[in-house]
Structure 1
Amino acid sequence: MACGELTQLAFHNDILVGAIATRCEKQPNGKAKAYIATLGVLAPYRSLGIGSKLLARTLAACAHDPNIEEVFVHVQVDNDEAIRFYQRHGFQLGETVKDYYKKLSPPDAVILTKKLTS
């Protein structure tokens, strides 16, 4: 992965139904954290495992990079469905970031993290 962009798309009958975009953020110690910038699946295609497959492939790619120690994501504080989704995939609930979202209400986000093992 070499700390570049990692984007994956999910298609069904030539229709784009889901996507995940991840980037690496280098840390002062020379290691990196992978940040999930976005993960989404069109509503009619949810609960089919598409989001889980996109996330699993991303986590597997990150785990193959010895420089990536952790994966993290911001989720709006009231998005219980997304929080549960990430927790089911081994993410831990972390700190709340006040006023993270400028155009959403509520504007606060929680950070969920998953440590990777080498």
Structure 2
Amino acid sequence: MGEAEKRKPLHLDGGNLTEKNMGQLKKLNLATFPVHYKDQFYLDLVKCLEYCRLGFCADVLVGSICCRLEERNEGGKALYIMTLSVLEKYRQRTLASQLVQWILDKAQSAECRSIDVREIYLHVQTSNKTALQFYRKFGFKVTEKIEDYYQKIEPPDCYVLRRPMNGHDLADTVLDVEL
């Protein structure tokens, strides 16, 4: 496959996560993440299926985004991006962008406005410059650094990235992080 062909955008067909296809998600996560998610992670996903999306190309599961709804200390709610994954063979083809755009659209829906969703946030390992650049394209900003956040990967530190939604502002200070 040539370099130009690799970068050609692909259309992602979205699908809902269900208890019946949870096994497919487990396999995808095993193939795409350096850490192994315990069974409890998948049991907890059942509580937030409406904030998870599977991405298919030619009926093959190639990516996913899994989020959960949380109460914010400052009031309102937040969507937390737990995982965003795309099989390596399918990266650099806009699939992750399509999944992030899906959750941004979901967060701005009438349903999420009615329950006062004010932001989307996630944790990114401090060494993952690619992810930092990727999320910045969608308006996420680094608001905090947490040392020793990860237990089984190096470096263990992470940044918290936030994107305000539905007319709200970032309450936290934005950090200037060199990329």
TM-score, L = length of structure 2: 0.61
What is the aligned residue count? 115
Structure 2's unaligned 5+ residue stretches are: 1-46, 168-179
Greater fraction helix: 2
CA contact (8 A) 2:70 2:80 kept: yes
The within-5 A match list for 1:5-84 is 5=48, 6-28=51-73, 30-64=75-109, 65-66=112-113, 67-84=116-133
SS in 1 for 2:69: strand
Which 4+ stretches in 1 moved above 4 angstroms? none
CA distance in 2, matches of 1:12, 1:104: 30
- The correspondence for 1:88, drawn from 132, 137, 159, is 137
Task: Report the residue type matching 1:51 in the other structure.
Answer: A
Deviation, structure 1 residue 73: 0.5
CA distance in 2, matches of 1:60, 1:83: 20
Task: Report the residue type matching 2:151 in the other structure.
Answer: K
TM-score, L = length of structure 1: 0.92
Report sequence identity in percent. Answer: 35
Q: Looking at CA atoms only, which structure, 1 or 2, has the larger radius of gyration?
A: 2
Structure 1's unaligned 5+ residue stretches are: none
